[in-house]
Amino acid sequence: MHLDFSDERVMAVVAHPDDAECLCAGTLGRAKADGAAIAICVLCRGDKGQPARPIENLAVVREKEMQAAAAEAGAELFEGRFGDGELADGVAQRAAVVEIYRRFRPTLVLAHWRDDYHSDHRAAGAVAEAASWYCASAGHRTESDVLPCQPALWWMDSMNMSGFEPGFFVDVSDFVGLKRRMLACHKSQLKRADDGDFSPLEEQMLRQCDARGAQAGVDAAEAFRIHAAWRRARAW
Ligand SMILES: [Zn+2]
């Protein structure tokens, strides 16, 4: 089966500035190469991801890092600007993401898995999913026009593959270089390699796409599950 993203508009909704790199940047790169429009929506500012020697104005530094990473991928960047560790599935957060969907008009949303390790990831997944319904609901008004239909939604792999049973794999063998170049933009986080509560990012990213690749019989892969809810599932 050949997956063709050429007519799609693909948006990854992630919690933190460097999450897309680990979980879906290869798929975004592949979609872009097919001719799709791609976007990354980062909901938290990354303001608490401090290395051992704290960085002043970390949220500003990380905004520049995520802008550089998005530019590397040719992705449009949207920001929720919520505080790290403060993201919850609430009315204001849903409305913010509904408006972001209405500006980018995605046909496919990539969202964090419900059992991922970090509460911001779990909240981001819940908000992304709820907003994928309301963005096409005329009763939910935001600044931009209502969408004609809901985008499809795929759940992304969890960080370190914990508790995630893949539904299918996307071959990203040709896009590992892109994942590495994007991750290299997050210099503030690469300094955290020695933190006890933080694993070396690049090593983890490569291990994950290698392992998923091994399961799928290719050099590197990213794993997803289809969200089989009404109007969020599509035949491909
Ligand atoms: Zn994260």
Residue 196 banded pLDDT, cuts 50, 70, 90: low
Are 34 and 5 in contact by the 8 Å Cβ rule? The answer is yes
Structural tokens at position 60: 């500003």
Question: From the CA of 119, how far away is ligand 1's center (Å)?
Answer: 9
Question: From the CA of 107, how far away is ligand 1's center (Å)?
Answer: 24
What is the predicted pLDDT for the residue at 40?
Answer: 98
Q: Match 């050099």 to its residue by tokens.
A: 219
Distances in whole angstroms, Cα of residue 29 to Cα of each of 7, 127, 148: 14, 24, 26
Question: From the CA of 186, how far away is ligand 1's center (Å)?
Answer: 12
What mean pLDDT is reported for the chain?
95
What is the predicted pLDDT for the residue at 190?
Answer: 84
Cα(32)–Cα(40) distance, integer angstroms: 12
Question: From the CA of 116, how far away is ligand 1's center (Å)?
Answer: 9
Question: From the CA of 49, how far away is ligand 1's center (Å)?
Answer: 9
Read off the pLDDT of residues 106-132 as tens digits, 9 standing for 90 and up. 999 999 999 999 999 999 999 999 999
Structural tokens at position 129: 């999913």
Question: From the CA of 28, how far away is ligand 1's center (Å)?
Answer: 17
What is the predicted pLDDT for the residue at 156?
Answer: 98
Question: From the CA of 121, how far away is ligand 1's center (Å)?
Answer: 6
Q: Match 């872009």 to its residue by tokens.
A: 32
Q: Match 């399961």 to its residue by tokens.
A: 215
Read off the pLDDT of residues 161-171 as tens digits, 9 standing for 90 and up. 999 999 999 99
Give the mean pLDDT of 57-70: 96
